[in-house]
Amino acid sequence: MSGSDMLQYENRFRSEGYTMICGADEAGRGPFAGPVCAAAVIFPEGKIIEGVNDSKKLSEKKREKLFDTIREEALAYHIAWASVEEIEELNILEAAMLAMKRAVEGLPLTADFAMIDGNKTPALSVPCAAIVDGDALSHSIAAASILAKVSRDRLMREYAVRYPQYGFEKHKGYGTKQHCEMILEYGPCEIHRRSFLKKLYARYGKPVP
């Protein structure tokens, strides 16, 4: 999708009178370990950063480079989290909504409209819209997806130093074959989402430790 096409939603909402439009997305709903991260970004009208796209379609090296550019070029951005404890207490969907709410409400400039990736919006005090596949359709949401993904990956690399036996630097907490083998060998650590491990342990007729 061309750069101008990636502004279709931004332009639509600007035509309705909104001026401080943010895009918000999260990273980390699927992993077996670690918090969920969300980001919100507001750009100047018409701003396009070349290469910004859905973070899942970009290499790690490209995301890292764009991370700095997005922060430099944005009018405002904010990165927020929902903890493993909150994921376990609320469920992953509600925790992701909480992280996105924190990201939008934590912006140093107040947004007057929020575009949220997916089919559900958090409880915000400003008007908002859910945009399915928004990280591939909106420049602002795509930029937010990059900020969230890079921030979370960096945190998981830090956890890899603290818990070297799990290989978090490689799989970032996702349920890869290697990660599952390490969980079964060493048991879960404090950053594992125990509710996510029930099926893994059930295969062996065991409760989650």
Domain boundaries, the chain: 5-160, 162-202
172 and 181 in contact (C-beta within 8 Å)?
no
Write down the architecture of domain 5-160 according to CATH.
2-Layer Sandwich (3.30)
Query: Which tokens sit at 146?
Result: 């990059």
pLDDT at 54: 78
> Which residues of the chain are under the pLDDT cut of 50?
none
Q: How many CA atoms are closer than 13 Å to the CA of 43, on its beta-carbon side? A: 25
End-to-end CA distance of the chain: 47
pLDDT at 188: 98
Residues 6+ apart with CB under 8 A from 103: 24, 38, 39, 40, 78, 79, 80, 144, 148
**Per-residue model confidence as pLDDT tens digits over 162-180:** 999 999 999 999 999 999 9
Residues 6+ apart with CB under 8 A from 12: none
